[in-house]
Chains A and B, each alone.
Chain A
Amino acid sequence: MKYILLMSGTKAGVDTYRAWSKKDIDGHMAVLTSLNRELTESGEFVATQGLAAPHEAKLVRGLMGGMPVTDGIFPESKEFLLGFWILDVATPERAYEIAARISTAPGPGGVPTNMPIEVRQFASHGSQSS
């Protein structure tokens, strides 16, 4: 079963992250890198991506004639996707377990960030990749 684990945050949350010390960032990344290695070894890892800071985010619609109309204004409460992990696991419980591990990655001063991780399954028909 393929699951996607989504980490999201508001712009204010991202600004806080940008103020972390180098040591705190390195500590955070070390835990996530070692988790990725562990998931690769267990055969559950499919992919992970981080997204750029949301300041450049655009909402796009198409006008008549297909011209893109871009809008960069979002409500302050908007939860932006920061990054995701795609996993292939045997049960939803295993996906929750891994999400809990990500949630305990250390933040400032080594204290777990306790960020909520949204766990979603892929649609069975809607998956294709090159």
Chain B
Amino acid sequence: MKYILMMHGKKADWDEYTRWSKEDLQRNVDYMRSFSKELNDSGVFVDTKGLALPHEAKNVRAGQNGEPITDGVFPESKEFLAGYWVIDVETPEQAYKIAARASAAPGPGGKPANMPIEVRQVLGSHSDLGV
């Protein structure tokens, strides 16, 4: 079963993150690297990506003639995707355990950031939706 583990944050959270000390950032990055490596070694790793700062984010719809209408204004409460892992595991519980590890990544001063990680199943095919 494939699961996606997602980290989200508001623009304000990102602004805070950009103020972390170099040492704090490095500690967090080292943790994430060794976490990804461990997932890879245990055979559950599929993919991980980090997204660019949300300041360039656009919402896109199509106009009358199909031309893109872009809008960069989001509510302050908007939760932006910051990054994700895709893993292939046997049970949802295994996915939750791995998500807890991501949540424990160190923040400022080395304290676990305790970020909530959203865990969702990835569909094998559209028919898995059951519609």
Spell out A's residues near B (CB within 8 Å). Answer: 4, 6, 17-18, 20, 25, 29, 49-54, 56-63, 66-71, 78-81, 92-93, 96-97, 99-101, 103-104, 112, 114-130
**Do the beta carbons of A129 and B99 come within 8 Å of each other?**
no
**Do the beta carbons of A118 and B58 come within 8 Å of each other?**
yes
Contact among A25, A97, A117 for B61, CB-based, below 8 A: A117
Known interface pairs A99-B60, A100-B61. Does A6 touch B47 (Cβ–Cβ under 8 Å)? Answer: no
Q: Tell me if B10 counts as interface (CB < 8 A to partner A).
A: no
By a CB distance below 8 angstroms, the chain B residues around A104 are: 62, 66
**Do the beta carbons of B52 and A122 come within 8 Å of each other?**
yes
Q: How many residues of B contact A (CB 8 A)?
A: 60
Q: Mark B82-120, 1 if CB is under 8 A from A, else 0.
A: 010010000011001101110110000000101111111
Q: Distance (Å) between the CB of B103 and the closest chain A CB?
A: 4
**Do the beta carbons of B57 and A118 come within 8 Å of each other?**
yes
Contact among A57, A116, A122, A129 for B118, CB-based, below 8 A: A57
Q: Tell me if B31 counts as interface (CB < 8 A to partner A).
A: no
B1's closest neighbor in chain A, by CB?
A52
By a CB distance below 8 angstroms, the chain A residues around B92 are: 56, 58
**Complex A-B: 9 CB contacts under 8 Å:** A4-B49, A62-B100, A62-B104, A62-B112, A68-B93, A78-B79, A119-B58, A122-B50, A126-B51
**Do the beta carbons of A123 and B103 come within 8 Å of each other?**
no
A50's closest neighbor in chain B, by CB?
B123
**Do the beta carbons of B99 and A49 come within 8 Å of each other?**
no
Known interface pairs A50-B126, A130-B45. Does A121 touch B67 (Cβ–Cβ under 8 Å)? Answer: no
**Do the beta carbons of A126 and B49 come within 8 Å of each other?**
yes
By a CB distance below 8 angstroms, the chain A residues around B68 are: 93, 96-97, 99-100
**Do the beta carbons of B51 and A49 come within 8 Å of each other?**
no
Q: Tell me if B76 counts as interface (CB < 8 A to partner A).
A: no
**Do the beta carbons of B81 and A60 come within 8 Å of each other?**
no
**Do the beta carbons of A117 and B116 come within 8 Å of each other?**
no
Q: Tell me if B12 counts as interface (CB < 8 A to partner A).
A: no
**Do the beta carbons of B122 and A49 come within 8 Å of each other?**
yes
Q: Tell me if B70 counts as interface (CB < 8 A to partner A).
A: yes
Please measure, in the bound complex, the distance between the C-alpha atom of A17 and the C-alpha atom of B129, giving whole angstroms: 11
Q: Distance (Å) between the CB of B68 and the closest chain A CB?
A: 4
**Do the beta carbons of A61 and B116 come within 8 Å of each other?**
yes
Known interface pairs A123-B52, A126-B50. Does A58 touch B119 (Cβ–Cβ under 8 Å)? Answer: yes
